[in-house]
Structure 1
Amino acid sequence: MSGVVITSGWVVGLLIGLTVAAAVATAAFWDRGRFRVVHRAIGLLLVQLLLLVSLAAVINQQANFYVTFGELFGQGSDTYAQTLPAGSPRLSADGGGAEDLDRWLAEHPAVPGRGTVIPATLAGAATGYALPSHIYLPAGYRGDGRDLPVVMFLAGYPGTVYSWLDSVGVGAALDEAIGAGRLPPVIAVMAEQDPVRGRDSECVDSVHGSRADTYLSADLPEVVHRHFRAARSRESWALVGYSTGGFCAVNLALRHPDRFGAAGSLAGYFRPLIDRSTGDLYEGDLELRRANDPRILIGRPRPAPVSLFLTAGLDDRTALRDLRAFAPLVHAPDTARIVADRPGGHNFTTWNAVLPDLFAWLTQRFGTSGATAA
Structure 2
Amino acid sequence: MATTTTLTQAQPVLHLNGGVETAKTVDVDGTESQTDHGVPGPDYKYARFLPSFDQNYKLPPLETFQHTDPGLAALNDPEPRSFLAGAEVIELTPKFGSEVEGIQLSKLDQKAKSQLALFVAQRGIVVFRDQDFLDQSPEWQLNEWGSTFGRLHIHPTSGQPKDYPEFHLVYRDAKPKSAWAYDTQKLSSTVWHSDVTYEAQPPGLTTLFLYDTPGSGGDTGYVSQVEAYNRLSPSFQAYLETLSVVHSGVEQAEYSRRGNRGGVVKREPVENVHPLVRRHPVTSEKALFVNKQFSRSIVGLRTEESDAILNLLYTHIAQGHDFQVRARWKPRTVVLWDNRVTAHTAIGDFDPAKDGFRHGARITPQAEKPTL
Question: Is the TM-score greater than 0.5?
Answer: no
Normalising TM by the smaller chain, what interval? under 0.3
Bigger relative contact order, structure 1 or 2 (CA pairs below 8 A, ≥6 apart): 2
Normalized per residue, the structure richer in strand is 2
TM-score (norm 2): 0.27
Normalized per residue, the structure richer in helix is 1
